[in-house]
Amino acid sequence: MLNEADTRAKLIDPKLHQSGWTEDAIQREYYLTPETGGRVVLEGNVEKRTKPKKADYLLRYRTYPIAIPEAKAESESHLAGMQQAKEYAARANIPFAYSSNGHRIEEYDFTTNEQRTLDRFPRPEELWERLGLVGAELAPAPSRATARVAPTPTLAAKESYLPTVSPLLYPFHYSPIDKMRPRYYQEQAIYRVIERVIRGQERVVLTMATGTGKTYVAFQIAWKLVKSGYMKRVLYLCQASGEPGGCRGQRHEQDDGLLCGSGARRSGHKAHQQ
Give pLDDT tens digits for 69-97: 999 999 999 999 999 999 999 999 999 99
Say if residue 105 is in the same domain as residue 166: no
Q: Taking the CB of residue 180, how many other CB atoms lie within 10 A of it?
A: 15
User: What is the per-residue pLDDT for 161?
Assistant: 47
> Which residues of the chain form beta strands (DSSP E)?
26-31, 40-43, 46-49, 54-61, 64-71, 96-100, 105-109, 114-118, 234-238, 258-262
Say if residue 258 is in the same domain as residue 223: yes
User: What is the per-residue pLDDT for 9?
Assistant: 96
**Burial letters for 83-97: b for 16+ Cβ neighbours within 10 Å, e otherwise?**
ebbbbbbebbebbbb
Tell me: the pLDDT tens digits for 97-149?
A: 999 999 999 999 999 999 999 999 999 999 999 988 755 555 555 554 443 33
Tell me: the pLDDT tens digits for 214-236?
A: 989 999 999 999 998 888 888 87
Say if residue 93 is in the same domain as residue 16: yes
Residue 274 belongs to a domain: no
Binned at pLDDT 50, 70 and 90, residue 274 comes out as very low
Residue 214 belongs to a domain: yes
Top-confidence residue, 177 or 187 = 187
- Asked whether residue 206 carries a pLDDT value surpassing 80, the answer given is yes
Say if residue 217 is in the same domain as residue 99: no
Q: What's the Cα-to-Cα distance from 238 to each of 125, 127, 161, 189, 232, rounded to whole Å? A: 37, 36, 29, 17, 20
Say if residue 122 is in the same domain as residue 153: no
Say if residue 91 is in the same domain as residue 73: yes
Q: Cα(60)–Cα(162) distance, rounded to whole angstroms? A: 24
By the 10 Å C-beta count (0-12 exposed, 13-18 middle, 19+ buried), 148 is classed as exposed
Candidate ranges 149-163, 231-245, 255-269; pick with highest mean pLDDT? 231-245
User: What is the per-residue pLDDT for 126?
Assistant: 96
Residue 145 belongs to a domain: yes
Say if residue 109 is in the same domain as residue 11: yes
Say if residue 117 is in the same domain as residue 158: no
Residue 272 belongs to a domain: no
| All residues at 6 or more sequence positions from 244 whose CB lies less than 8 Å from its CB, including other chains | none
Q: What is the pTM of this model?
A: 0.75
Q: Which of 131, 165, 197 is at the close of a domain?
A: 131
Binned at pLDDT 50, 70 and 90, residue 258 comes out as low
Binned at pLDDT 50, 70 and 90, residue 259 comes out as low
Say if residue 110 is in the same domain as residue 127: yes
How many domains in the chain?
A: 2
Q: Which of 131, 166, 193 is at the close of a domain?
A: 131
Tell me: the pLDDT tens digits for 20-79?
A: 999 999 999 998 876 556 667 777 787 777 777 899 999 999 989 999 999 999 999 999
Q: Which domain holds residue 16?
A: 4-131
Residue 119 belongs to a domain: yes
- Asked whether residue 246 carries a pLDDT value surpassing 50, the answer given is no
Lowest mean per-residue pLDDT among 6-10, 129-133, 159-163, 225-229: 159-163
Residue 273 belongs to a domain: no
